[in-house]
Structure 1
Amino acid sequence: MTTYTEQEILLRKSISKIPKTTFGLFSLYKYPAKFIPQTPAFVMENYTKKGMKVFDPFAGFGTVGYTARIYGLDYELWDLNPLLGYLHSICEIEPNFSYKKLIDEIKNYRQEFIPEWSNLDYWHPKEFIQILSKAWGFYHYSADEYTKKILIIPLLNATKFFSYADEKIHKLYKSKFAKVKVERLMKEDYKNLFYNFLENQFKNLKQKIKEYQSLNPKRVNYKIKAGVDILKENLEEPVNLLITSPPYIQAQEYIRTVKLDLFWLGFKEEQIRDLSKKEIPYRNTPRIEVFSDTYYSYRLLINEKHLLKLYDSYFFAILSVFDKLSKNVSDYMFIFVGNAKVRGWQIPIYQIIIEHMENSKDWMHEITYIDKIISRVMFSTKKNPATGMDDSRMDKEYLIVFRRKK
């Protein structure tokens, strides 16, 4: 059996330049399963040099891009989720904006924006829709492009808080806590509470932008492709490094998680359904040959047909993406994954990726950094509600380093 070089590391403590995981822009929005900034920072600190370009095909919140600016590196980001384009724009805001005037304009605005969504009343009481529709009306019909960048995070966070969604977790979930929260808000002066909430969001945004600018981000060249099908996209220009974290097996459905945001941003139900159909691992994926004995060994342990289909679809998808995109990566690939469970079996995703990529004539495994997970803001349960089995979360994640053979 082949042995691979491994090294334990605590990534969140590895880079002094970024003092904590919530510093700067990195904590402004609860995006599911996003990088802590120290992960791409560790890569850029140790493996890049001036003039290089980095690429993340599963960019999510855009952490690789924000971090690349700190190191003066050009970058390209892709994601199926259209939110990437909106969230990325916050790194271009200056902290000297006046939010008092903005709040007054929103208060006095009359033209409403109502999402074209059949479930709108399920997520918001009609009283909250009246306030939100005017705030979003200002965003859609009055605000210029720069003002929209300032508004996006405060409005998204306010929209979730003034809903039946539980803003304390990443998933779109109508919890008992959220219902109690709405009942409490309805008994109070919820209009003033809404504008006070917005004001606090603007204050926090200013503070976080100042923190980010203290890291001295540079003006660099970048390209954003949001709302794209990763399996069908091609790199038009070569890059030096690929740094990414693909979805995990049985990952939560990211489009479903953010659909509240997408509807208020103006997306239609048909558009969101179309995006959901392209999610890994739930999509139909063309079969490929997988060069990994570990993949086939664990495949034999899965009995249910639907889980077997999901298992195959997952690896066909992510491995075909890496096979295709790696052709335009000149130096290194860094893939950050964890070992998710399928029916009690912990699938060593990192090992399957290593074995498959090592089969290539072009890439060799250099090292895997094993990172201990310190915290995770998700559900905390003793039993997995889907399976009824004991719920054991991942305690480690793996940063796999591949170097192009010369």
Structure 2
Amino acid sequence: MKVFDPFAGYGTVGLVAKIYGFNYELWDLNPMLEVIHNTATIGKPRLTITELIELIESVKNSNREFLPNWNNLNYWFPNEFLPVLSKAWGFVHSERRKENKYLLLIPLLKVTRYFSWSDEKVHKLYRSKYSRQKIENLLKGNWKNIFYRMLQEEVLSLYNKLFEYEKLHPKKVEYKVKSGIDTLTTELNEKVDILITSPPYLQAQEYIRSTKLELFWLGYNEAYIKNLSDKEIPYREVPKIKVYSSTFFEYRKKIKEKHLKFIYDQYFYAILSCFSRLGEKVKNYMCIFVGPAKVRNIPIPIDEIIIEHLREFGWKHEVTFIDRILSRVMFESKINPASGRGDSRIKTEHLVVLKK
């Protein structure tokens, strides 16, 4: 049994596949997939708690330095914090012991985001009233102690989660992880049993923009990150395709603004061509998580459009499961800050199950 996720995000499909003993292949445009997957699969940590505390002390006493090659570095970070961040990242980038490196990477990314002008409660890279107050309060106090205390707490949290995952007895399986790749142009080399994925939800996600800060600290340069951003769905231009869905055209008529109609078209040309092409290598099922993302407050039934289109390619709709989103909403806003219009979040997530 082999499972495939072409929009793998943080790689959850692969981690669950390991528990069930299934082989898997993960793709994603965002290079962070590899960092997260490598961290989650390092196995049961061999370091003791004492050795873990000593590792944090080594970070604190580091004489290595690293600063990202980023023109906007000083816009996102107070100058006071940069020497401490530079030492911490210098240590991590020079660390050759795999377990030590991956026990530090994600915790340090989290703490680095907290010590920036960015509002870590918002998915996108965004300066808010809260984040300005946060930095002002940090600068008034013993922020160095707070930095290392937070780093230690995050490392211990990850350490415990790795033990929890190992208690689920993940199996030794064959896997491929391809990060930083373009799903729309990459070919699947061998057949898979199941495709299970969650593509972007129209305009609802901008993965590269939202993780730009982390990517710079991981060592990626401005040109590379811009190249990734240019490949994001639905903001890239893709070849027009014939869409086999009356629902697609019904909702397209409701969109009046030219630029929004363009985004709508590019989105569906991208994901529908992707699923019809990759589906040729899928032997049994495609399971696709999508939500009714909105264009000018019009909920678009993405699931129905996918079902109708893929029917033309021999896929039979088995069932759609609908789940109300309760816990993942980080904030609710009456006004969309980008448009200045009324706004509301996606309320449900739909799992479309298709059988060949």
Q: Quick check: TM above 0.5?
A: yes
Q: C-alpha root-mean-square deviation of aligned residues, in Å?
A: 1.2
Shift of residue 363 of structure 1? 1.5
Shift of residue 156 of structure 1? 0.5
Secondary structure of 1:402's counterpart equals strand
Aligned pair 1:250/2:199, yes or no? no
Aligned pair 1:123/2:73, yes or no? no
Of 57, 81, 95, the match for 2:45:
95
- Please give the per-residue CA displacement for 1:365-393, whole angstroms capped at 9, x wherever unaligned: 11111112222233311122233333222
Shift of residue 54 of structure 1? 0.4
Q: For residue 239 of structure 1, what is the aligned residue in structure 2?
A: 192
Asked if structure 2 preserves the Cα contact closer than 8 Å seen for 1:249 and 1:340, the reply is: yes
Aligned pair 1:269/2:189, yes or no? no
Asked if structure 1 preserves the Cα contact closer than 8 Å seen for 2:34 and 2:177, the reply is: yes
Shift of residue 145 of structure 1? 3.0
Q: One-letter code of the match for 1:319?
A: L
Whole-angstrom distance in 1 between the partners of 2:30 and 2:6: 11
Whole-angstrom distance in 2 between the partners of 1:192 and 1:329: 52
Q: For residue 341 of structure 2, what is the aligned residue in structure 1?
A: 389
Secondary structure of 2:45's counterpart equals coil
Aligned pair 1:367/2:334, yes or no? no
Q: For residue 271 of structure 2, what is the aligned residue in structure 1?
A: 318
Asked if structure 1 preserves the Cα contact closer than 8 Å seen for 2:11 and 2:26, the reply is: yes
Of 288, 291, 314, the match for 1:335:
288
Aligned pair 1:197/2:117, yes or no? no
Q: For residue 70 of structure 1, what is the aligned residue in structure 2?
A: 19
Give the TM-score taking structure 1 as reference length. Answer: 0.84
Aligned pair 1:161/2:111, yes or no? no
Asked if structure 2 preserves the Cα contact closer than 8 Å seen for 1:340 and 1:394, the reply is: yes
Of stretches 319-328 and 91-100 in structure 1, the one that deviates more from structure 2 is: 91-100
- Please give the per-residue CA displacement for 1:125-160, whole angstroms capped at 9, x wherever unaligned: 112111011111011123433322111111101111
Q: For residue 213 of structure 1, what is the aligned residue in structure 2?
A: 166
Aligned pair 1:377/2:317, yes or no? no
Whole-angstrom distance in 2 between the partners of 1:388 and 1:265: 34
Whole-angstrom distance in 2 between the partners of 1:189 and 1:393: 37
Whole-angstrom distance in 1 between the partners of 2:40 and 2:187: 26
For structure 1, the residue ranges without an aligned partner over 5 or more in a row are 1-51
Whole-angstrom distance in 2 between the partners of 1:347 and 1:326: 23
Shift of residue 252 of structure 1? 2.8
Shift of residue 292 of structure 1? 0.3
Q: Judging changes above 3 Å, is the alpha-carbon distance between structure 1 residues 372 and 142 closer, same or farther for their aligned structure 2 residues? A: closer
For structure 2, the residue ranges without an aligned partner over 5 or more in a row are none
- Please give the per-residue CA displacement for 1:223-277, whole angstroms capped at 9, x wherever unaligned: 0000001111011111100000100111231101001000001010000110000
Shift of residue 310 of structure 1? 0.2
Shift of residue 184 of structure 1? 1.2
Q: For residue 4 of structure 2, what is the aligned residue in structure 1?
A: 55
Q: One-letter code of the match for 2:352?
A: I
Whole-angstrom distance in 2 between the partners of 1:105 and 1:387: 47
Give the TM-score taking structure 2 as reference length. Answer: 0.96
